[in-house]
Structure 1
Amino acid sequence: MAGEKEYSPSGRDTNGIEDVHKSEHTSEHDSPRSDNDLEATQQDVSEDKETRRVMRRVDLRLLPVLAALYSFALIDRTNLANARVAGADEDLGLSVGERYSLVTMMFFVPYILFELPSNIVLRKIGPGIWLPALATLFGVVSMACGFTYEWTQLLGCRVVLGALEAGFYPGCVYLLSCWYVRYEIQKRFSIFYMLATLASGLANILGYGLSQMDGVGGLHGWRWIFIIEGLVTVALGLLSVLIIVPFPDLATKKTFFSRKPFLSEREASLVTARLEKDRGDAANDEMPMRNIFTYICDWKVLEWAWLYLIAATVSYSFSLFLPIILEADLGYSTSRAQILSFPPYAVAAPWMLITAWLGDKYRKRGHLIIFNNAVALIGLVMIGFATGSPNARYAGTFLGVAAGNTNVPTILTYMHNNIVGQTKRSVASAVLVGASGLSGIIAANIFRQQDSPGYRPALITVIIMNALSILLVAKNLWLYNRMNKKADRGEIVIEGQPGFRLTL
């Protein structure tokens, strides 16, 4: 008897990129396979090898450059904490009242507002121009932060930075999702996000090194943090114009910066065929405003956005405030606090890759999200309440950073596995990343100056949010399974595609 059937939107059996089309086994009573059958099988094997070669090229042209650019987007976004402990506090008066929280928070207001419009522009202009342009511009603004002399000037720079960075991350997520099938995408999301997470962790060490340039050119060390990191971002943005590939349906066309198309007609047909088989939406669909609002209000999209908000709140809490907590609460020196901020991110990297491998292999997402939420919750409890043991509290940061950051690509994959249509995927990507913008505002407001150095109310808030996330995903495991069974019986059609099933 055949094994369990995997459903695709077209109603056909579907396997990942590494699966080879197999002919049915014949019993001793069956007739021998014909020469035509053997030729067809050999052709399938040949096409599969060719497809893998094409996808390796896609990996090399997308993952390293997007990860590098997003790494410096994160660094430019979160280097405020390093600049603060390196002297910006005194020079700009950031410790007065809630100035630091306000400067941190205001980045996320335009970040939320401009994400969806940016993804619409991305589809029209193309990722090879739009994403490098955004990266170059937000690198310039990051450099400008190093030349501010009033806290209000820094605030203005952060607002502009938020507007420019708004479209970059959802644009990267959308571009990646357009190239890969459902049960290989988490590994790609995780590699992309893992490299950025490692760089974010190294940013604290980099920030400490750059702060030692104090006095060079008559500038304080904290200014060099903004200037040098912004300069690297500009250089990467300009270089990426030559590397980032277009969407699959445009990969056979020449670009302004390339005389040769990225893919031949045959290579493009292999890519689009596997996408069509996986979810039935290889071709770009229209983006009328009516559909956009319908997708925004989809209850599943809103739930995924809530889950993503929680995961991003944990991530932002650590990236924005970990050096400060280590220095002010646990009593480490400035240099030691910045150096000790990196090891938790180093642990997060293999954690993230193992989770991605398990998720793609077993085609499960919700179970992994619940597990990581539980681990992050334990880590947050250790940080907030193991007050008699600095070592235990520091150990808690490893659990919180690793599990919390791992849930970011896992939840993105959870969403992308359960929707059909390029427009909906673009809108949902922007909605989820918009939720991460809200999480930045939440993190900036719950970590209040008056709660320093322990920030216990903030930690309790994040603990409660993690618990709510566990309950929501547990509900979805039951509900999605129930919906799949109804679809099996022909009672409902999921995502408007006969044969499509939700990933648990």
Structure 2
Amino acid sequence: MAFIDDEKLESEAQVEPVESQKPMLDNIDDDPVFSYQEQRKIIRQVDLRLVLMLGALHCVCLIDRGNIGAAKLAGMSTELHLIGNRYSVIAVSFFPPYICLQALGPILIRKIGPVNYLSAVCLIWGAVMLSAGFVKSWTQMVGIRVIIGALEAGFFPASVYLISTWYTRYDLQKRYAIFYFLGCVASACTGILSYGITFMNGLGGLTAWRWIFIIQGLLTCIVAVIGWFVLIDFPDRMKTSARKFLSDGEYDFIMRRIGKDRADTVLEPFNFKKYFAAGLDINIWAFGFIYFSSTTTAYAISYFLPTIYADGMGFSEGVSLCLFAPPFAAAGILMYVTSWAGDRYHIRAPILIFNALITMIGLPLLGFTEGNASRMVGAFLTTMGCNSNIPAAMAYQANNIRGQWKRAFASAIFVGLGASGGMTGSLVFRSQDAPNYHLGILTCLGLSCLIIVLVILLSVRFYYANRKVDRGELVIGKLPGFKYTF
């Protein structure tokens, strides 16, 4: 039980808070200037500029990352001679640079600025994705995937970090759900969009799978340009920004709201040692492995569900691509409902456990039953559970981290382990295990159990830490009154 009893939580010794920190107010919505309705209107304006635009960028990000499954069915496998494990090599080659460069995202977004950084990398990887339509060999496709992995590496942790700086802890999960839901829309639409593009087969002398990369890469470039005009900066910079869309008083309200909730609106100067010292916090790694366990299943479903439909259930190429959409649409509904409940009732752990149980019901149905009806139910439940746990895990992590640079580092580690889940999902679903992929199904089942174990251990840890806060024996993150959410 060393995990539970370890008292070396970061900054949990009794310390004097810095002068800018005040004890949190009981009601975040009590504001001396704006009524509750006016507050909601201000936050909705932030939602439209920030969450929806980042969600659109995430949408094309996931399309570019996951379209190789559709391209494989559309003829890439034959034309590039993807024999043996070559397709798995292409799928997994995205992740090494993606994982290694994660920590740079939160640093670069602060140094370069969200608008320039996020829109620029999106534009560049869109151009690289477009060029994938002209490769001549499978090794060139590996190179394309490596470059895209390097470019996308900082996008997700930077986006998660940026969202967390604008909202209070119990406004976050719904925003993360919308952000990620738009990614699910991308995953859902990838199959249908790719199926439509297959009718371009032969146009301009190019086969269908090449047009998939060209059209979707062009779409990414268009969204990146729109993002440059719409995206916003960090809240502490907006009053002096040329992109102001609120009044000075409304920006002051945003800063007051964050100050009441966790008192980390002011960015400390960057310190390399302090930034990476956050890696000593065991909570950050537990959050990361919860996310790793969720993304392993989510990536595996994204990459291999069309193949399971075609090879395991006997559906045609067109039907397999179109059937890819409904489970992700259902996942979006469950994702938002559980996120609303999590924010409304200030809970995180029960949501994670519930979604993990849904996944654990779906996986055996998908991998170990014979009829197409039961396997389809399994596909729905698995997709719904694992994808719904992604914004839940993001909110769980964000709610229990204080300090902007620690939050930035935690986002990088968190997403880096999530990307490792993508690598795992690509490798454990091996071509020799088709069409049932029992090894992959069992791996994902075990990781869903791990989510439940980690959440229970963290909940016990947080419960005892919060009791110490109530007794005045503990200050978490140097902020009196701050307590863990579980």
What's the TM-score, normalizing by structure 1? 0.90
1:3 corresponding residue in structure 2:
none
Quote how far apart the aligned CAs of 1:346 are: 0.9
Q: Distance in 2 between matches of 1:50 and 1:344?
A: 37
Contact 1:200/1:319 (8 A) holds in 2: yes
Within the candidate set 10, 27, 35, 1:15 is matched to 27
Within the alignment, does 1:88 sit opposite 2:71 as a pair? Answer: no
Task: Map Cα deviations across residues 175-206 of structure 1 (whole Å, 9 max, x no partner).
Answer: 11110000011010001111110121110111
Contact 2:76/2:209 (8 A) holds in 1: yes
Within the candidate set 421, 440, 445, 1:458 is matched to 440
Q: Distance in 1 between matches of 2:317 and 2:193?
A: 13
Within the alignment, does 1:485 sit opposite 2:467 as a pair? Answer: yes
Within the candidate set 245, 261, 264, 1:262 is matched to 245
Q: Which has the higher contact order (CA 8 A, sep 6+)?
A: 2
Within the candidate set 123, 126, 134, 2:113 is matched to 126
Amino acid at match of 2:139: T
4+ residue stretches of structure 1 with deviation over 3 A? 46-50
Within the alignment, does 1:444 sit opposite 2:426 as a pair? Answer: yes
2:371 corresponding residue in structure 1:
389
Q: Distance in 2 between matches of 1:460 and 1:62?
A: 38
Task: Map Cα deviations across residues 193-234 of structure 1 (whole Å, 9 max, x no partner).
Answer: 111101211101111111121000000000000000000100
2:207 corresponding residue in structure 1:
220
Amino acid at match of 1:197: C
Task: Map Cα deviations across residues 226-264 of structure 1 (whole Å, 9 max, x no partner).
Answer: 000000100110111110000001111234xx5xx2333
Q: Distance in 2 between matches of 1:213 and 1:463?
A: 39
1:52 corresponding residue in structure 2:
40
Contact 1:253/1:262 (8 A) holds in 2: no
Contact 1:10/1:499 (8 A) holds in 2: no
Quote how far apart the aligned CAs of 1:47 are: 4.6
Comparing 324-333 with 280-289, which one deviates more in the overlay?
Answer: 280-289
Amino acid at match of 2:342: G
Quote how far apart the aligned CAs of 1:20 are: 4.2
Call closer, same or farther: CA 1:122–1:12 in 2, change over 3 Å. Answer: closer
Within the alignment, does 1:323 sit opposite 2:306 as a pair? Answer: yes
Matches within 5 A, 1:242-261: 242-255=229-242, 258=243, 261=244
1:155 corresponding residue in structure 2:
142
2:17 corresponding residue in structure 1:
none
Contact 1:10/1:279 (8 A) holds in 2: no
Task: Map Cα deviations across residues 73-94 of structure 1 (whole Å, 9 max, x no partner).
Answer: 0000000000001000001012
Amino acid at match of 2:382: G
Within the alignment, does 1:353 sit opposite 2:336 as a pair? Answer: yes
1:33 corresponding residue in structure 2:
none
1:432 corresponding residue in structure 2:
414
**May I ask how many residue pairs the two structures share in their alignment?**
466
2:133 corresponding residue in structure 1:
146
Q: Distance in 1 between matches of 2:24 and 2:416?
A: 35
Task: Map Cα deviations across residues 70-125 of structure 1 (whole Å, 9 max, x no partner).
Answer: 1110000000000001000001012x121111111110111011121122111011
1:211 corresponding residue in structure 2:
198
Within the candidate set 300, 303, 320, 2:286 is matched to 303
SS in structure 2 at match of 1:252: helix
Quote how far apart the aligned CAs of 1:460 are: 0.4
Q: Distance in 2 between matches of 1:202 and 1:408?
A: 19
- Residue identity over aligned pairs, in percent, reads 39
2:455 corresponding residue in structure 1:
473
2:401 corresponding residue in structure 1:
419
Larger Rg: 1
Amino acid at match of 1:283: V
SS in structure 2 at match of 1:156: helix
Contact 1:75/1:203 (8 A) holds in 2: yes
2:92 corresponding residue in structure 1:
105
Task: Map Cα deviations across residues 382-429 of structure 1 (whole Å, 9 max, x no partner).
Answer: 11111x221101101111111110100000000110011111111111
- Long gaps (5+) in structure 2: 1-20
Contact 2:276/2:409 (8 A) holds in 1: no
Q: Distance in 1 between matches of 2:279 and 2:197?
A: 42
Q: Distance in 1 between matches of 2:440 and 2:311?
A: 15
Task: Map Cα deviations across residues 31-74 of structure 1 (whole Å, 9 max, x no partner).
Answer: xxxxxxxxxxxx55x35443322211111111221111111100
Quote how far apart the aligned CAs of 1:437 are: 1.2
1:279 corresponding residue in structure 2:
262
Task: Map Cα deviations across residues 307-344 of structure 1 (whole Å, 9 max, x no partner).
Answer: 00001111101101100111011111111111111110
Q: Distance in 1 between matches of 2:316 and 2:303?
A: 17
Within the alignment, does 1:171 sit opposite 2:147 as a pair? Answer: no
Within the alignment, does 1:495 sit opposite 2:483 as a pair? Answer: no
Contact 2:24/2:262 (8 A) holds in 1: no
Q: Distance in 2 between matches of 1:53 and 1:395?
A: 40
